[in-house]
Amino acid sequence: MSLTISRAVFNELLYCMKADPSVKYMICRNYDGFHEYHGRGFLLTRFIGTSVYALVWTFDPTTLTTRMLFLQRQNRQDTFPLFVDLVRAHRAYIFTPSFPCYLSCHFLLHISDHDAGGWELGVIRHVEEQTGFGLHPFGWRGVEPLKLVEKFNINQLTSWLQAVNEVAMNASNRSRHQNNSYVLLEVIKAEHKNGGRHYGILPGKALQLHQEKMEELIEALPALERHIAAYIDFEVYFKQRADRLSSVLFALMTHEDANASIGLAAATRNDSASMKTIAIMTMAFLPATFFAALFSMPSLRWDQPAVVQDRFWVYWAFTVPTTIAVFLVWLLITKRKWIFRGIGGLLMKHGVGVQHVNMK
């Protein structure tokens, strides 16, 4: 984790909070979840980490003072001001050691609602609208064939698939953090059951104020628990919706890829037809070209009684062997596997051992 203050200043902050230094490991390694430390000579130190923020706090039972350190983990401008607003809105519970637990649950819900209901929900709705695979008010509409005018662009489908998978991953991450909120709620209930006894002997007025605020905090927990449960159900549905849309996009990409393959096959077929046309034209002109070149040779004297001269055989002596050599080289290059396999079979048939060579 990168801080914009020096290490000395950060350590001084933890010292003023009387925080257990063991919590620094969780901060440096960007750990998630709830953790607490209570080393000798330090106040009970608690830590909660999420993907958006982390909280470190201590509670001094002698003064009912909560010292809390807010660590922003993402480069977002809205997190800390919103956190301060929530502190002010719920400041009545500040005299309880469980106040940061309650505050973190609320804050995480606000952040999650903002993220899921903003860009991510817009992405899902946009892709559903463009592909025609969205939510329908009537079930029979789903069995009608889609009337899509334009074809999908493969690059657009890839971009949508990436965005939808990102939404699904974020939904899973938010559900994981909301489940951690249940741990914080159990901490609050344990604090209420304990009555603050594990903090030592509280002064009379402090103990009374602590118990009063804890009772008020406990009364607010059922509504918070229902809110968290409803949000987790929404995230499960939201992820299923994104996963289903991801499958649709993948099917559309496969369909477009198949169309591209069909187009490529058609183009190849057209190229093959063109090559056949060229070959036919070549075959039509080849005999005439051959005889025209042959009859124009100086070895043939058409103006004399003996047309074929004495050294005309030299032409055939070079032409025929060279032509045969060209075809043999072509056959050796294109059919080398078959040739070597045949030679090896003949040698093995006559009892001659050969070493197998893999010809690629």
pLDDT tens for each residue of 65-103: 889 999 988 777 778 899 999 999 998 888 888 899 999
Which whole-number Å values give the CA distances from 77 to 103, 126, 150, 285, 325, in the listed order?
19, 26, 40, 79, 79
> Between 279 and 140, where is the model more confident?
279
For strand 53-60 and strand 65-72, is the pairing parallel, antiparallel, or unpaired?
antiparallel
pLDDT exceeds 80 at position 291: no
Q: What is the mean pLDDT of residues 234-247?
A: 91
Half-sphere exposure (Cβ direction) of 190: Cα atoms closer than 13 Å: 9
Categorize the per-residue pLDDT at 235 as very low, low, confident or very high, splitting at 50, 70 and 90.
very high
Q: What is the pTM assigned to this prediction?
A: 0.66
Does residue 66 sit in helix, strand or coil?
strand
* Mean pLDDT across the chain: 81
What one-letter code names the amino acid at 216?
Answer: E
Q: How many whole angstroms separate alpha carbon 55 and alpha carbon 34?
A: 10
Provide the CA 159 distance to its chain's centre, in angstroms: 11
The answer to whether 192 and 214 are in contact (CB under 8 A) is: yes
Provide the token pair at 297. 């040779």
Q: How many whole angstroms separate alpha carbon 17 and alpha carbon 11?
A: 10
pLDDT tens for each residue of 243-279: 989 888 888 888 776 777 777 777 777 777 777 788 7
Q: What is the mean pLDDT of residues 115-144?
A: 73
Q: How many whole angstroms separate alpha carbon 23 and alpha carbon 39?
A: 11
What's the helix, strand, coil split of the chain in %, to 5? Answer: 65, 10, 25
Provide the token pair at 141. 């509409």
Q: What is the pLDDT of residue 76?
A: 77
Provide the token pair at 183. 């741990």
Categorize the per-residue pLDDT at 107 as very low, low, confident or very high, splitting at 50, 70 and 90.
very high
Categorize the per-residue pLDDT at 3 as very low, low, confident or very high, splitting at 50, 70 and 90.
low
In the block, which residue shows the tokens 């400041």? 91
Does residue 200 sit in helix, strand or coil?
coil
Per-domain boundaries in the chain: 77-264, 299-360
Categorize the per-residue pLDDT at 64 as very low, low, confident or very high, splitting at 50, 70 and 90.
confident
Least confident of 84-88, 197-201, 347-351: 197-201
pLDDT tens for each residue of 320-341: 888 898 888 888 888 877 777 7
What would you measure as the largest C-alpha separation in the chain, in angstroms?
144
Which whole-number Å values give the CA distances from 29 to 1, 46, 53, 294, in the listed order?
7, 16, 13, 87
> Between 263 and 197, where is the model more confident?
263
